[in-house]
Amino acid sequence: MLRFALLLVLVASATPAPAAAPRDAFVGEWPLVLQDADGGAYRVTLAREVYAQASDPRLRDLVVFNAADEAVAAEVFPPQAPLARPARELELPWFTLPAPDARDGDAWAVVGEVDADGRLRRVETRGGGRLGRGEAVVYLVDASRTRAPITALEIDWPPREAALDLGMRVEASEDLEHWDPVSVHGRLVEAVRAGRNLVQRRLELEPVRTRYLRLTPAALGTGFAPTTISAGLAPEPVAEAREWETLDAARSDPDAATFDFELGGRFPVDRADVLLPGNSAVEWTLESRDGEDASWRQRLAPWVAYRLNARAGDAQASGAQAINGVVRDRYWRLRARGPVSGTPQLRLGYRPEVLVFLAQGPAPFALAAGSATAMRADTPLPRLIAELRQREGADWQPAVAEPGPYRELAGARALQRPRDWTAWILWSVLVAGALVVIVFAVHLLRQGPPRFD
């Protein structure tokens, strides 16, 4: 914990607090509930309400404030970033048993009670020695609850006075009878010197799927006695879980076969689909733009969206189409090739992103969103998060922060841009200069031609 705190001090010192932005320059905010008070760095999964309130295309109007109304360092990360994945570790039940007789290891067998799910309830051995003080032992680990490959074992034990440097042989089995060796990297180490501790509790394994593991210490007489054994599991594939916004046409031109839609927010759209009532098969082109005066840009080349057997209840339909990159435009248009029966609905899919912030200054913290003038400052947070992951391990990630009930700040006034008087001032100066020239010219004309005596 001390090392982690020092790392966060390093991060905070290298990451200056963003320039102050008035809190009342935002539409509203969500107070953030920290799951771990000592987390230092936190992540917030952006909800639909946050996207709907954001105004800036780059989400720079998402700012985290502390209790002193100071903006803290924060950045938005894509959903596929590793820090968006939850940690995967599972504590496993285990049993201490006599080790197999070295002279007849094949005679060693485990007899136990197994429930319907294959989990061990009670075990005893046959063919091994008696479990006595100083005798060789093995640790039988029930891994039947795991649903992913085991990539590591985290073994905990009570504090020791004597140093520990212990290797461990690991074997896997599906039936408690046939055992296969598993490649292991690392040793269990604990050393104390000058009041400093060096502890290594993790054994890296060649990924293995198995019901049971057998751990055999490489040495006797160490006084080693584990208290917990946990499995580090391989990360599951990132689920393509998406949120969807279903839009009704705001405007349509049946003659031109175009249908316009408005997306109320800065959603990171990367999928699109079309819904039509009844059976249909239409070739569509999808376009978007960020402003009503901007030009339309093609987002999806012509594709055929169909729906068959709509009345039978088991309709077959074309899947959603992948958009190249992430698009946050507000205005979308469907163009049909040929006649369209009915008015289509446009479905836009996105994967929620993650906002990571540092706990700088006093708590509580709040996420403010929606502003025409106040923007989040750029910080080196992505590089610093990567450094923390390199130092703390690939599984490290910021603690979780959950948004609480919404509070309104400036409301819709925060989205009104202040009038830019620059052009008016320049025109005024230009007109004033022209008037001065005209007055001077009139004055010269009234004086008449100069006289030469």
| pLDDT digit string, tens, across residues 173-217 | 998 889 999 999 999 999 988 778 889 999 999 999 999 999 999
Does residue 289 surpass a pLDDT of 90? yes
Per-residue pLDDT band at 9 (split at 50, 70, 90) = very low
Determine the distance from the C-alpha atom of residue 283 to the mean position of all C-alpha atoms in its chain, rounded to a whole number: 35
Range scoring the smallest mean pLDDT among 50-59, 97-106, 241-250: 97-106
Q: Give the pLDDT confidence of 312-321 residue by residue, as tens digits.
A: 566 788 889 9
pLDDT of residue 287: 97
pLDDT at 107 over 60: no
Tell me whether the CATH fold assigned to 89-233 matches the one assigned to 243-350: yes
Give the Cβ contact number of residue 223 at 10 Å: 12
Return the amino acid letter for 242: R
Strands (E), 309-405: 316-317, 321-327, 331-337, 345-350, 354-358, 365-369, 399-403
More reliable by pLDDT, 241 or 173:
173
The owner of tokens 């590793």 is: 82
In this predicted model, which residue has the larger pLDDT, 422 or 382? Answer: 382
Q: Give the C-alpha separation, 371 to 55, whole Å.
A: 6
- Per the CB < 8 A criterion, the answer to whether 191 and 197 are in contact is yes
For the domain bounded by 243-350, which CATH number is listed?
2.60.120.260
Q: Which of 9-13, 142-146, 147-151, 371-375 has the lowest mean pLDDT?
A: 9-13
Phi, psi at 298, each rounded to 5°: -70, 130
| pLDDT for residue 119 | 64
Residue 338: which pLDDT band, with cuts at 50, 70 and 90? confident
- Residue 451 has what pLDDT? 61
Longest dimension (CA), the chain: 140
The kind and range of the H/E element at 189 are: strand 188-193
User: Residue 283: pLDDT above 90?
Assistant: yes
pLDDT confidence band for 300 (50 / 70 / 90)? very high
Q: Hey, what are 129's tokens?
A: 């020695």
- Residue 300 host element (H or E): strand 297-308
Query: How far is C-alpha 318 from the geometric centre of its chain's CA atoms?
Result: 29
pLDDT confidence tier of residue 256, bands split at 50, 70 and 90: confident
Tokens coding 239: 């689920």
- The answer regarding whether domain 89-233 maps to CATH 3.40.50 reads no
Residue 16 in this model has a pLDDT that exceeds 60: no
Each domain of the chain, given as residue ranges in start order, spans 2-85+353-415, 89-233, 243-350
Show the tokens assigned to 251: 């405007």
Distance CA 74, CA 64 (A): 7
